[in-house]
Structure 1
Amino acid sequence: MNSKVIKIGIVQQANTVDIEANICKLEKNIKDCAANGVQLVVLQELHNSTYFCQTEDVDVFDLAESIPGSSTRRFGALAKALSIVLVTSLFEKRAPGIYHNTAVVFEKDGSIAGKYRKMHIPDDPAYYEKFYFTPGDLGFKPIETSLGKLGVLVCWDQWYPEAARLMALQGADLLIYPTAIGWESTDSADEKKRQLDAWMISQRGHAVANGIPVVSVNRTGHESDPSGQTNGIQFWGNSFVAGPQGEILQQSSSDQEENQVLEVSISHSEDVRRIWPFFRDRRIDAYKKILKRFVD
């Protein structure tokens, strides 16, 4: 069987309130990856700014932008100049009062290959995303690129096996999760380990259950709570790539900004699915109740 390998760059970055400085650093990091011959670069969730969802503030909506817009022009031009496929994560203003957490994928000619609007929207202390984001309405559909079909999802989506499965059933070659997740300062060391382990196990499980690689890119660094009511979030980094059997192919540190470059075999998924034929043995006749909120 012919071997198809993609060289991937992942950018794990710490951000500040200076958006232009964040973007300039992103551009430098993307170029650094490209200098190492990557074909695909993946960025973290909402990478232009700090993670503003720690509080509910109507003025934050001023950060949102149209798609196409200034960021898509800038990142599209960079993708074209470097001849790479680029996965970005933007705060989209769709219409007055309608905003989305949107991943935009650029083809290597700089055009927009497609976008995905985050479907699962959390609402937890320090993660008040329902205040800002309307749930996505584009569904779970892989984005066609010159490198293959990219199953792009965003952060909170990574806990839902249904989302990963639907991407895989439509031919996704990779699952990609731009992410912003971290610890609260009052969590014990044991609790922090449990949370990090659960995060990685969940996504590695998607790789195993669907027989495809997973790319998860988180931010790092501490971001303070603008309200001062909490001690902020320590983003836990640990961006990683897992193979189709859940094996860790690359993992970043918890507290350092890093650009990681690695090769991932896409064709290996065929080998894995031959020995673990989960798709063959799915009981599609028996899953109707999965469409219910709860089964009494």
Structure 2
Amino acid sequence: MRIIKTALIQQSNSPTIETNLQKLDHSIRQAASQGAQLIVLQELHNSLYFCQTEDTQIFDLAETIPGPSTHRFGQLAAELKVVIVTSLFEKRAPGLYHNTAVVLEADGSIAGKYRKMHIPDDPAYYEKFYFTPGDLGFQPIQTSLGKLGVLVCWDQWYPEAARLMALSGADLLIYPTAIGWESTDSSDEKKRQKDAWIISQRGHAVANGLPVIAVNRVGYEPDPSGATNGIQFWGNSFATGPQGEFLTQAGNENEEILIVDIDLERSESVRRIWPFLRDRRIDAYNNIVKRFID
């Protein structure tokens, strides 16, 4: 059996980046002490979720890749002999920035990176102001543990992204995430939003016969502009097997470290009984590349 002991680190963040990094260091060490081989962090884990406002000064938070964070987490990965999935604000060139996931191999090297492809632009999620859409495509990142199909947050709503990762040989799908509630939404609306988020990703697991890992941040972060009431990030980080079955799930209020065994061999057995890839009508999907079919 190909079992990967995996850690999902669900964290609340403060305005002090060094405090957030120290918390992550402690949590990564704790996960490694429990046998974790793969450690997945949430989206933009170094700082507060800064996309609630549009502020040119925030670009100062961005860093190069390689850079300070890849060096710091790379050293930690090498020391603990673990693979770490990070999520960084990348400065590619002056005026050119990406929301980029970087995978650090267990020897500390950069195994690969993925630049977020789908960029939202909604109240409190003004990501188009900060991030250029990714240009690396949907390519799994080869690591010593397998091929990681790393996507980021808003990508999780798009079945095309999950499918292309699966067709490119991903062993599992991974979604670092920052999503939550605006406080004026009703309780019923909040439940619908969270349930839709979970259902969509469980659906990717089923449709592609792959395990899925989603790691969300948790806690309240105010809107610096005061235009909204801020975001209550809903946590609920989880992992599923290739039939969408829950393997582990966090709550929506507290920081948590989830440790779970991901069995990569189950994908083979599930795909044999549900051969969705075999039965795809690739001869009839040309219109999928259109914006809308008139």
Q: TM-score, normalised by structure 1?
A: 0.99
Q: Secondary structure at the match of 1:278?
A: coil
Aligned-partner Cα distance in 2 for 1:166–1:64: 28
Show CA shifts across 1:171-209 (max 9, x none).
Answer: 100100000000000000000000000000000000000
CA distance in 1 between partners of 2:271 and 2:228 (Å): 46
Over aligned residues, Cα RMSD in angstroms?
A: 0.3
Q: Which of the numbers 250, 259, 281 marks the counterpart of 1:261?
A: 259
Q: How does 1:162-241 map to 2 (within 5 A)?
A: 162-241=160-239
**Following the alignment from structure 2 to structure 1, what is the Cα–Cα distance between the partners of residues 44 and 80?**
22
Report 1:102-121 matches (<5 A): 102-121=100-119
Counterpart code for 1:167: M
1:86-105 to 2 correspondences below 5 Å: 86-105=84-103
Deviations 1:51-104 (A, max 9, x none): 000000000000000000011100000000000000000000000000000000
Alignment partner, residue 63 of structure 1: 61
In 2, Cα distance between the equivalents of 1:113 and 1:41?
Answer: 14
SS at match of 2:213: strand
In the alignment, the residues of structure 2 paired with residue 267 and residue 171 of structure 1 have an alpha-carbon distance, to the nearest angstrom, of 13
> What SS is found at the alignment partner of 2:278?
helix
SS of 1:281's partner is coil
Once residues 168 and 92 of structure 2 are traced to their aligned partners in structure 1, the CA distance between those partners, rounded to angstroms, is 26
Counterpart-to-counterpart distance in 2, 1:285 and 1:48:
45
Measure the CA separation in 2 of the matches of 1:185 and 1:73: 37
Among 73, 76, 96, the residue aligned to 2:74: 76
Matched residue, 2:273: 275
Q: Partner amino acid for 2:28?
A: I
Aligned equivalent of 1:35, options 33, 36, 43: 33
Q: Secondary structure at the match of 1:41?
A: strand
Q: What is the SS of the residue equivalent to 2:188?
A: helix
Distance in 2 (CA, whole Å) between partners of 1:291 and 1:192 is: 32
Q: Aligned partners of 1:189 and 1:105: how far apart in 2?
A: 37
Cα distance, 1:165 vs structure 2: 0.2
Equivalent residue of 1:294, what SS?
coil
Give structure 1 stretches of 5+ with no counterpart.
Answer: none
Of the three residues 130, 135, 157, the one matched with 2:155 is: 157
- Aligned to 1:202, the other structure's residue is in SS state helix
Query: In structure 1, the residue corresponding to 2:51 is in which secondary structure?
Result: helix
Identity of aligned residues (%): 73
Q: For residues 4 and 66 of structure 1, what CA distance do their matches in structure 2 show?
A: 34
Shift of 1:230: 1.3
Hey, what does 1:23 align to over in structure 2? Answer: 21
- Show the counterpart of 2:247: 249
Which amino acid in 1 is paired with 2:90? E
Aligned partner of 1:142 among 140, 143, 156 = 140
In 2, Cα distance between equivalents of 1:272 and 1:246: 11
Q: Quick one: which amino acid aligns to residue 285 of structure 2?
A: Y
Separation in 2 of the partners of 1:229 and 1:168? Answer: 40
Letter in 2 for 1:86: I
How many residues were matched structurally? 294
Normalising by structure 2, report the TM-score: 1.00
Q: CA deviation at 1:229?
A: 1.6
> Aligned partners of 2:33 and 2:15: how far apart in 1?
28
Shift of 1:228: 1.3
- Other structure's SS at 1:229 match: coil
Deviation, structure 1 residue 158: 0.2
Structure 2: distance between partners of 1:133 and 1:228: 23
Letter of the 2:211 partner, please give it: P
Name structure 2 gaps, 5 residues minimum.
none
